[in-house]
Amino acid sequence: MLDLALAGFVGILLALGLRRPFIWVLAYLYIDIVSPQKISYFLLASLPISLLVFVAAFGGWLLADDKQDTRVSFRQGLIVLLLAWCGYTTLTADFPVEALAKWAWVWKALVFAAFLPLTLRTRLRIEAVALFMVLSAASIIITGGIKTAASGGGYGALKFFVNDNTGLYEGSIISCVAVAIIPVILWLVKHGTVFPSDWRVKAFAAALVFACLLIPVGTQARTGLICIGVLVLLSLRTVKRRFLYMGMIGALGLVAVPFLPQSFTQRMSTIENHQGDQSASTRIAVWKWTWDYVRDHPAGGGFYAYLSNSVRYQTKAADTSGGATVIETSTVEEKGRAFHSSYFEMLGEQGFPGFGLWIWIQALGVWQMERIRRRWLKRTGETERWQAPLASALQHAQIIYLAGSLFVGIAFQPFVLMLIGLQCGLWTYLRRIDAPQPVSRKGRPAALNPLRTPAAG
Protein backbone atom coordinates (compact mmCIF):
# COMPACT_ATOMS: atom_id res chain seq x y z
CA MET A 1 0.00 0.00 0.00
CA LEU A 2 2.88 2.36 0.83
CA ASP A 3 4.45 1.57 -2.54
CA LEU A 4 1.26 2.50 -4.36
CA ALA A 5 0.87 5.75 -2.41
CA LEU A 6 4.44 6.88 -3.14
CA ALA A 7 4.31 5.86 -6.79
CA GLY A 8 0.88 7.47 -7.18
CA PHE A 9 2.08 10.80 -5.74
CA VAL A 10 5.17 10.88 -7.94
CA GLY A 11 3.06 9.86 -10.92
CA ILE A 12 0.62 12.72 -10.33
CA LEU A 13 3.47 15.24 -10.19
CA LEU A 14 4.95 13.90 -13.42
CA ALA A 15 1.55 13.98 -15.13
CA LEU A 16 0.92 17.57 -14.06
CA GLY A 17 4.32 18.44 -15.48
CA LEU A 18 3.08 17.58 -18.97
CA ARG A 19 0.96 20.74 -18.77
CA ARG A 20 3.28 22.81 -16.55
CA PRO A 21 6.90 21.60 -17.02
CA PHE A 22 8.04 23.61 -14.00
CA ILE A 23 6.27 21.03 -11.82
CA TRP A 24 8.99 18.58 -12.83
CA VAL A 25 11.45 20.88 -11.06
CA LEU A 26 9.30 20.64 -7.93
CA ALA A 27 9.06 16.87 -8.36
CA TYR A 28 12.85 16.63 -8.39
CA LEU A 29 13.05 18.67 -5.18
CA TYR A 30 10.72 16.19 -3.48
CA ILE A 31 12.53 13.10 -4.80
CA ASP A 32 16.01 14.36 -3.96
CA ILE A 33 15.03 15.46 -0.42
CA VAL A 34 12.72 12.62 0.68
CA SER A 35 14.22 9.83 -1.48
CA PRO A 36 10.94 7.89 -1.88
CA GLN A 37 12.86 5.25 -3.83
CA LYS A 38 14.54 4.28 -0.53
CA ILE A 39 11.17 4.02 1.22
CA SER A 40 9.59 2.04 -1.61
CA TYR A 41 9.85 -1.74 -1.59
CA PHE A 42 9.51 -2.32 -5.33
CA LEU A 43 7.87 0.19 -7.68
CA LEU A 44 10.10 3.25 -7.24
CA ALA A 45 13.05 1.25 -5.94
CA SER A 46 13.35 -0.54 -9.28
CA LEU A 47 13.72 2.68 -11.31
CA PRO A 48 16.44 5.38 -11.45
CA ILE A 49 13.66 7.81 -10.59
CA SER A 50 15.96 10.62 -9.41
CA LEU A 51 17.93 10.70 -12.67
CA LEU A 52 14.77 10.41 -14.79
CA VAL A 53 13.07 13.37 -13.11
CA PHE A 54 16.34 15.34 -13.19
CA VAL A 55 16.42 14.92 -16.99
CA ALA A 56 12.69 15.75 -17.24
CA ALA A 57 13.14 18.96 -15.22
CA PHE A 58 16.02 20.15 -17.39
CA GLY A 59 14.38 19.02 -20.63
CA GLY A 60 11.07 20.67 -19.74
CA TRP A 61 12.81 23.99 -19.14
CA LEU A 62 14.93 23.68 -22.28
CA LEU A 63 12.06 22.80 -24.62
CA ALA A 64 8.95 24.43 -23.17
CA ASP A 65 9.80 27.21 -20.71
CA ASP A 66 9.85 30.89 -21.57
CA LYS A 67 13.47 32.07 -21.41
CA GLN A 68 12.88 35.74 -22.12
CA ASP A 69 13.37 36.70 -18.46
CA THR A 70 16.20 34.26 -17.79
CA ARG A 71 19.22 35.79 -16.03
CA VAL A 72 22.51 34.19 -14.96
CA SER A 73 24.26 35.36 -11.79
CA PHE A 74 27.97 35.47 -10.99
CA ARG A 75 27.33 33.02 -8.16
CA GLN A 76 26.00 30.43 -10.60
CA GLY A 77 29.29 30.78 -12.46
CA LEU A 78 31.17 30.05 -9.24
CA ILE A 79 29.07 26.91 -8.75
CA VAL A 80 30.01 25.74 -12.25
CA LEU A 81 33.68 26.44 -11.50
CA LEU A 82 33.41 24.42 -8.29
CA LEU A 83 31.81 21.60 -10.28
CA ALA A 84 34.71 21.63 -12.75
CA TRP A 85 37.28 21.67 -9.94
CA CYS A 86 35.57 18.74 -8.19
CA GLY A 87 35.68 16.85 -11.50
CA TYR A 88 39.42 17.48 -11.72
CA THR A 89 40.12 16.36 -8.14
CA THR A 90 38.02 13.25 -8.75
CA LEU A 91 40.26 12.32 -11.68
CA THR A 92 43.37 12.82 -9.52
CA ALA A 93 41.91 11.50 -6.24
CA ASP A 94 43.95 9.52 -3.73
CA PHE A 95 41.15 6.93 -3.70
CA PRO A 96 39.71 6.99 -7.26
CA VAL A 97 37.13 4.23 -6.82
CA GLU A 98 35.67 5.68 -3.64
CA ALA A 99 35.83 9.21 -5.10
CA LEU A 100 33.68 8.19 -8.06
CA ALA A 101 30.96 6.99 -5.68
CA LYS A 102 30.65 10.47 -4.13
CA TRP A 103 31.06 12.23 -7.47
CA ALA A 104 28.01 10.27 -8.72
CA TRP A 105 25.69 12.43 -6.60
CA VAL A 106 27.78 15.57 -6.04
CA TRP A 107 27.84 16.54 -9.73
CA LYS A 108 24.06 16.27 -9.93
CA ALA A 109 23.56 18.41 -6.80
CA LEU A 110 25.90 21.12 -8.13
CA VAL A 111 24.37 21.11 -11.62
CA PHE A 112 20.86 21.41 -10.18
CA ALA A 113 21.93 24.27 -7.90
CA ALA A 114 23.25 26.17 -10.94
CA PHE A 115 20.20 25.25 -13.03
CA LEU A 116 17.42 26.01 -10.51
CA PRO A 117 17.71 29.85 -10.67
CA LEU A 118 17.10 29.73 -14.44
CA THR A 119 13.55 28.51 -13.79
CA LEU A 120 12.68 31.04 -11.06
CA ARG A 121 11.32 33.92 -13.13
CA THR A 122 8.19 34.74 -11.06
CA ARG A 123 7.29 35.20 -7.43
CA LEU A 124 4.98 32.19 -7.56
CA ARG A 125 7.79 29.91 -8.69
CA ILE A 126 10.12 31.20 -5.98
CA GLU A 127 7.46 30.58 -3.35
CA ALA A 128 6.64 27.14 -4.78
CA VAL A 129 10.28 26.05 -4.49
CA ALA A 130 10.50 27.29 -0.89
CA LEU A 131 7.21 25.53 -0.08
CA PHE A 132 8.22 22.21 -1.65
CA MET A 133 11.59 22.27 0.10
CA VAL A 134 9.97 22.93 3.49
CA LEU A 135 7.17 20.38 3.09
CA SER A 136 9.51 17.70 1.73
CA ALA A 137 11.86 18.13 4.69
CA ALA A 138 8.80 18.35 6.97
CA SER A 139 7.72 14.83 5.97
CA ILE A 140 10.91 13.55 7.63
CA ILE A 141 10.89 16.06 10.50
CA ILE A 142 7.29 15.38 11.53
CA THR A 143 8.01 11.65 11.71
CA GLY A 144 11.06 12.28 13.90
CA GLY A 145 9.18 14.77 16.06
CA ILE A 146 6.38 12.30 16.79
CA LYS A 147 8.85 9.55 17.68
CA THR A 148 10.82 11.94 19.91
CA ALA A 149 7.67 13.03 21.76
CA ALA A 150 6.66 9.38 22.24
CA SER A 151 10.02 7.81 23.15
CA GLY A 152 12.62 10.54 23.68
CA GLY A 153 14.83 9.32 20.84
CA GLY A 154 18.53 8.66 21.38
CA TYR A 155 21.88 9.22 19.69
CA GLY A 156 21.94 7.02 16.60
CA ALA A 157 18.66 5.42 17.69
CA LEU A 158 16.03 7.76 16.18
CA LYS A 159 14.85 6.25 12.90
CA PHE A 160 12.78 8.04 10.29
CA PHE A 161 11.15 6.47 7.23
CA VAL A 162 14.07 4.14 6.59
CA ASN A 163 17.00 2.66 8.48
CA ASP A 164 19.48 4.81 6.57
CA ASN A 165 22.28 7.06 7.72
CA THR A 166 22.74 9.16 4.58
CA GLY A 167 21.30 12.45 3.36
CA LEU A 168 18.66 14.04 5.56
CA TYR A 169 18.20 10.71 7.34
CA GLU A 170 21.47 11.21 9.25
CA GLY A 171 20.93 12.65 12.74
CA SER A 172 23.29 15.62 12.70
CA ILE A 173 22.30 16.65 9.16
CA ILE A 174 18.55 16.61 9.79
CA SER A 175 19.09 18.47 13.07
CA CYS A 176 20.93 21.26 11.24
CA VAL A 177 18.42 21.43 8.38
CA ALA A 178 15.38 21.28 10.68
CA VAL A 179 16.51 24.36 12.59
CA ALA A 180 17.69 26.16 9.44
CA ILE A 181 14.29 26.01 7.73
CA ILE A 182 12.41 27.57 10.67
CA PRO A 183 12.86 31.15 9.32
CA VAL A 184 11.55 29.99 5.91
CA ILE A 185 8.52 28.36 7.58
CA LEU A 186 7.71 31.63 9.34
CA TRP A 187 8.03 33.53 6.05
CA LEU A 188 5.63 31.17 4.30
CA VAL A 189 3.08 31.66 7.08
CA LYS A 190 3.17 35.44 6.85
CA HIS A 191 3.76 36.04 3.14
CA GLY A 192 2.77 32.81 1.38
CA THR A 193 0.11 32.96 -1.34
CA VAL A 194 -0.18 29.28 -2.23
CA PHE A 195 -1.68 28.63 1.20
CA PRO A 196 -2.95 32.03 2.41
CA SER A 197 -2.43 32.53 6.13
CA ASP A 198 -5.36 31.45 8.30
CA TRP A 199 -5.72 29.59 11.59
CA ARG A 200 -5.09 26.20 9.96
CA VAL A 201 -1.88 27.31 8.28
CA LYS A 202 -0.67 28.99 11.48
CA ALA A 203 -1.50 25.92 13.59
CA PHE A 204 0.34 23.59 11.19
CA ALA A 205 3.34 25.93 11.07
CA ALA A 206 3.48 26.16 14.88
CA ALA A 207 3.40 22.37 15.16
CA LEU A 208 6.06 22.04 12.44
CA VAL A 209 8.38 24.53 14.18
CA PHE A 210 7.93 22.57 17.43
CA ALA A 211 8.80 19.35 15.58
CA CYS A 212 11.90 21.06 14.13
CA LEU A 213 13.03 21.96 17.65
CA LEU A 214 12.39 18.40 18.82
CA ILE A 215 14.68 16.87 16.19
CA PRO A 216 17.95 17.88 17.97
CA VAL A 217 16.48 16.38 21.15
CA GLY A 218 15.51 13.13 19.42
CA THR A 219 18.79 12.72 17.55
CA GLN A 220 20.82 14.07 20.50
CA ALA A 221 23.08 15.78 17.97
CA ARG A 222 25.15 18.57 19.51
CA THR A 223 25.06 20.29 16.12
CA GLY A 224 21.33 20.85 16.58
CA LEU A 225 21.78 22.60 19.92
CA ILE A 226 24.37 24.96 18.41
CA CYS A 227 22.02 25.70 15.50
CA ILE A 228 19.20 26.55 17.91
CA GLY A 229 21.51 28.97 19.73
CA VAL A 230 22.42 30.66 16.44
CA LEU A 231 18.72 30.87 15.51
CA VAL A 232 17.92 32.63 18.79
CA LEU A 233 20.74 35.15 18.25
CA LEU A 234 19.68 35.86 14.66
CA SER A 235 16.06 36.36 15.65
CA LEU A 236 17.11 39.21 17.94
CA ARG A 237 17.61 41.25 14.79
CA THR A 238 13.93 41.26 13.88
CA VAL A 239 12.05 41.18 17.20
CA LYS A 240 10.81 44.51 18.56
CA ARG A 241 11.12 43.87 22.31
CA ARG A 242 14.48 42.17 22.57
CA PHE A 243 14.81 42.06 26.36
CA LEU A 244 11.33 40.59 26.72
CA TYR A 245 12.14 38.08 23.99
CA MET A 246 15.39 37.04 25.68
CA GLY A 247 13.59 36.65 28.99
CA MET A 248 10.94 34.46 27.41
CA ILE A 249 13.56 32.29 25.70
CA GLY A 250 15.42 31.89 29.00
CA ALA A 251 12.22 30.99 30.84
CA LEU A 252 11.22 28.45 28.18
CA GLY A 253 14.68 26.89 28.40
CA LEU A 254 14.44 26.52 32.17
CA VAL A 255 10.96 25.02 31.91
CA ALA A 256 12.04 22.59 29.18
CA VAL A 257 15.13 21.21 30.96
CA PRO A 258 13.23 18.91 33.39
CA PHE A 259 11.39 17.34 30.45
CA LEU A 260 14.53 16.58 28.44
CA PRO A 261 15.88 13.00 28.46
CA GLN A 262 18.84 12.57 30.80
CA SER A 263 20.89 11.08 27.97
CA PHE A 264 20.37 14.32 26.00
CA THR A 265 21.62 16.60 28.79
CA GLN A 266 24.61 14.31 29.40
CA ARG A 267 25.59 14.36 25.74
CA MET A 268 25.18 18.14 25.46
CA SER A 269 27.47 18.61 28.46
CA THR A 270 30.39 17.21 26.43
CA ILE A 271 30.38 20.44 24.37
CA GLU A 272 32.26 22.10 27.24
CA ASN A 273 34.97 19.43 27.53
CA HIS A 274 35.91 17.72 24.26
CA GLN A 275 38.63 15.67 25.99
CA GLY A 276 35.96 13.83 27.95
CA ASP A 277 34.23 12.64 24.80
CA GLN A 278 35.96 10.34 22.31
CA SER A 279 33.84 11.52 19.38
CA ALA A 280 34.75 15.18 19.94
CA SER A 281 38.41 14.33 20.53
CA THR A 282 38.50 12.43 17.25
CA ARG A 283 37.23 15.47 15.36
CA ILE A 284 39.91 17.75 16.80
CA ALA A 285 42.62 15.24 15.89
CA VAL A 286 41.26 14.77 12.33
CA TRP A 287 41.11 18.55 11.82
CA LYS A 288 44.78 18.85 12.82
CA TRP A 289 45.67 16.04 10.43
CA THR A 290 43.68 17.70 7.61
CA TRP A 291 45.52 20.99 8.00
CA ASP A 292 48.89 19.22 7.85
CA TYR A 293 47.69 17.19 4.84
CA VAL A 294 46.48 20.18 2.80
CA ARG A 295 49.73 22.06 3.41
CA ASP A 296 51.51 19.17 1.67
CA HIS A 297 48.70 18.71 -0.94
CA PRO A 298 47.39 22.23 -1.73
CA ALA A 299 45.05 20.90 -4.44
CA GLY A 300 43.44 18.42 -2.04
CA GLY A 301 43.16 14.66 -2.24
CA GLY A 302 39.75 14.30 -3.86
CA PHE A 303 36.63 12.81 -2.33
CA TYR A 304 37.21 10.47 0.64
CA ALA A 305 40.77 11.73 1.09
CA TYR A 306 40.30 11.19 4.83
CA LEU A 307 40.64 7.43 4.33
CA SER A 308 44.41 7.87 4.47
CA ASN A 309 44.43 9.55 7.89
CA SER A 310 45.77 8.05 11.08
CA VAL A 311 45.22 10.06 14.26
CA ARG A 312 46.32 9.62 17.85
CA TYR A 313 44.89 11.58 20.76
CA GLN A 314 44.32 11.40 24.50
CA THR A 315 41.02 11.29 26.34
CA LYS A 316 40.44 12.14 29.98
CA ALA A 317 37.75 10.71 32.28
CA ALA A 318 37.02 11.32 35.96
CA ASP A 319 36.73 8.24 38.20
CA THR A 320 34.98 8.90 41.53
CA SER A 321 34.28 5.31 42.54
CA GLY A 322 36.87 5.29 45.35
CA GLY A 323 35.60 8.40 47.11
CA ALA A 324 38.27 10.60 45.57
CA THR A 325 38.29 11.99 42.06
CA VAL A 326 40.96 10.46 39.86
CA ILE A 327 41.60 11.67 36.31
CA GLU A 328 42.28 8.73 34.03
CA THR A 329 44.09 9.40 30.74
CA SER A 330 44.08 6.99 27.84
CA THR A 331 45.61 7.12 24.37
CA VAL A 332 43.43 6.28 21.36
CA GLU A 333 44.59 5.67 17.81
CA GLU A 334 42.16 5.59 14.86
CA LYS A 335 42.42 5.42 11.09
CA GLY A 336 40.23 6.58 8.23
CA ARG A 337 37.99 8.87 10.31
CA ALA A 338 35.74 11.32 8.46
CA PHE A 339 36.34 15.09 8.54
CA HIS A 340 33.17 15.89 10.59
CA SER A 341 33.28 19.48 9.33
CA SER A 342 32.29 21.00 6.01
CA TYR A 343 35.23 23.43 6.19
CA PHE A 344 37.82 20.70 6.69
CA GLU A 345 35.96 18.48 4.23
CA MET A 346 36.48 21.11 1.54
CA LEU A 347 40.10 21.68 2.55
CA GLY A 348 41.02 18.01 2.63
CA GLU A 349 39.13 16.96 -0.50
CA GLN A 350 39.28 20.05 -2.72
CA GLY A 351 42.31 21.84 -1.35
CA PHE A 352 42.72 25.61 -1.17
CA PRO A 353 41.15 26.30 -4.63
CA GLY A 354 37.98 24.32 -3.86
CA PHE A 355 37.72 25.73 -0.37
CA GLY A 356 38.10 29.25 -1.74
CA LEU A 357 35.32 28.74 -4.29
CA TRP A 358 33.01 27.19 -1.70
CA ILE A 359 33.51 29.90 0.92
CA TRP A 360 33.11 32.56 -1.80
CA ILE A 361 29.75 31.07 -2.77
CA GLN A 362 28.63 31.06 0.86
CA ALA A 363 29.85 34.59 1.65
CA LEU A 364 28.24 35.99 -1.50
CA GLY A 365 24.92 34.49 -0.43
CA VAL A 366 24.99 36.21 2.95
CA TRP A 367 26.01 39.51 1.32
CA GLN A 368 23.42 39.36 -1.48
CA MET A 369 20.56 38.55 0.89
CA GLU A 370 21.65 41.48 3.08
CA ARG A 371 21.61 43.80 0.08
CA ILE A 372 18.09 42.67 -0.83
CA ARG A 373 16.91 43.09 2.74
CA ARG A 374 18.18 46.65 2.97
CA ARG A 375 16.96 47.63 -0.48
CA TRP A 376 13.39 46.39 0.07
CA LEU A 377 12.97 46.76 3.84
CA LYS A 378 11.16 50.11 3.89
CA ARG A 379 8.99 49.60 0.84
CA THR A 380 5.28 49.41 1.65
CA GLY A 381 3.64 48.70 -1.72
CA GLU A 382 1.23 45.78 -1.97
CA THR A 383 3.71 43.76 -4.04
CA GLU A 384 6.84 44.96 -2.23
CA ARG A 385 6.46 43.53 1.27
CA TRP A 386 7.63 39.94 0.81
CA GLN A 387 11.10 40.44 -0.67
CA ALA A 388 13.03 41.70 2.39
CA PRO A 389 11.56 39.09 4.79
CA LEU A 390 12.35 36.27 2.36
CA ALA A 391 15.93 37.51 1.95
CA SER A 392 16.29 37.60 5.75
CA ALA A 393 14.83 34.09 6.07
CA LEU A 394 17.19 32.65 3.45
CA GLN A 395 20.15 34.52 4.97
CA HIS A 396 19.38 33.20 8.45
CA ALA A 397 18.92 29.68 7.11
CA GLN A 398 22.34 29.87 5.46
CA ILE A 399 24.07 31.28 8.55
CA ILE A 400 22.55 28.50 10.68
CA TYR A 401 23.83 25.98 8.15
CA LEU A 402 27.31 27.54 8.20
CA ALA A 403 27.37 27.29 11.99
CA GLY A 404 26.11 23.72 12.03
CA SER A 405 28.46 22.64 9.24
CA LEU A 406 31.41 23.43 11.49
CA PHE A 407 30.75 20.06 13.10
CA VAL A 408 29.31 17.92 10.30
CA GLY A 409 30.56 17.27 6.77
CA ILE A 410 27.74 18.60 4.61
CA ALA A 411 29.58 20.89 2.19
CA PHE A 412 27.76 19.29 -0.77
CA GLN A 413 24.44 18.52 0.95
CA PRO A 414 21.83 18.71 -1.87
CA PHE A 415 19.24 20.46 0.33
CA VAL A 416 21.68 23.25 1.14
CA LEU A 417 22.68 23.58 -2.52
CA MET A 418 18.97 23.92 -3.36
CA LEU A 419 18.79 26.70 -0.78
CA ILE A 420 21.72 28.41 -2.53
CA GLY A 421 19.94 27.99 -5.87
CA LEU A 422 16.83 29.61 -4.37
CA GLN A 423 18.94 32.54 -3.19
CA CYS A 424 20.41 32.96 -6.68
CA GLY A 425 16.92 32.85 -8.19
CA LEU A 426 15.64 35.53 -5.80
CA TRP A 427 18.70 37.71 -6.52
CA THR A 428 18.35 37.56 -10.32
CA TYR A 429 14.55 37.96 -10.22
CA LEU A 430 14.65 41.08 -8.07
CA ARG A 431 17.49 42.63 -10.05
CA ARG A 432 15.43 42.18 -13.20
CA ILE A 433 12.14 43.61 -11.95
CA ASP A 434 13.82 46.45 -10.06
CA ALA A 435 16.06 47.53 -12.92
CA PRO A 436 15.66 51.11 -14.22
CA GLN A 437 12.92 51.31 -16.84
CA PRO A 438 13.95 52.26 -20.40
CA VAL A 439 12.64 55.66 -21.49
CA SER A 440 11.08 56.24 -24.89
CA ARG A 441 11.96 59.18 -27.12
CA LYS A 442 8.96 61.10 -25.77
CA GLY A 443 10.35 60.82 -22.24
CA ARG A 444 7.80 58.25 -21.04
CA PRO A 445 8.56 54.79 -19.62
CA ALA A 446 8.62 52.20 -22.38
CA ALA A 447 6.89 49.60 -20.24
CA LEU A 448 5.08 49.31 -16.96
CA ASN A 449 7.10 48.37 -13.90
CA PRO A 450 6.51 44.63 -13.23
CA LEU A 451 6.18 45.48 -9.53
CA ARG A 452 2.87 47.13 -10.28
CA THR A 453 1.44 44.21 -12.19
CA PRO A 454 0.25 40.86 -10.79
CA ALA A 455 2.92 38.15 -10.69
CA ALA A 456 2.27 35.29 -13.08
CA GLY A 457 3.05 31.65 -12.47
pTM summary value:
0.87
In the chain, what percentage of residues exceed pLDDT 90? 52
270 — phi, psi (to 5°)?
Answer: -75, -10
pLDDT on residue 456 = 41
- Cβ-Cβ contacts under 8 Å for 141 (sequence gap 6 or more): 174, 178, 208, 211, 212, 215
At 389-416, the pLDDT tens digits run 999 999 999 999 999 999 889 999 999 9
pLDDT for 117-150, tens place per residue?
A: 999 999 999 999 999 999 999 999 998 888 887 7
Query: What is the pLDDT averaged over residues 415-441?
Result: 85
Would you say residue 380 has pLDDT above 70?
yes
CA dist 75 to 26, 199, 204, 244, Å?
22, 39, 35, 39
Distance CA 351, CA 103 (A): 16
How confident is the model over 264-311, as pLDDT tens digits? 555 555 555 444 455 667 888 889 999 999 999 999 999 999 998 887
d(C-alpha 335, C-alpha 204), whole Å: 46
Taking the alpha carbons at both ends of the chain, their separation in whole angstroms is: 34
Asked if residues 211 and 145 have their Cβ atoms less than 8 Å apart, the reply is yes
Length of the chain as a residue count: 457
Q: How high is the pLDDT of residue 325?
A: 53
Residues contacting 15, CB < 8 A, separation 6+: none
Contact between 443 and 143 under an 8 Å Cβ cutoff? The reply is: no
The per-residue pLDDT of the chain, averaged, comes to 84
Q: Could you tell me the maximum CA-CA distance found in the chain, to the nearest angstrom?
A: 95
Please classify residue 235 by burial: count the beta carbons closer than 10 Å to its beta carbon, then call 0-12 exposed, 13-18 middle and 19+ buried: middle
Q: Where are the domains of the chain?
A: 1-65, 74-268+341-433, 274-335
Q: What is the dihedral of CA 436, 365, 452, 380, to 10 degrees?
A: -110
pLDDT for residue 74 is more than 90: yes
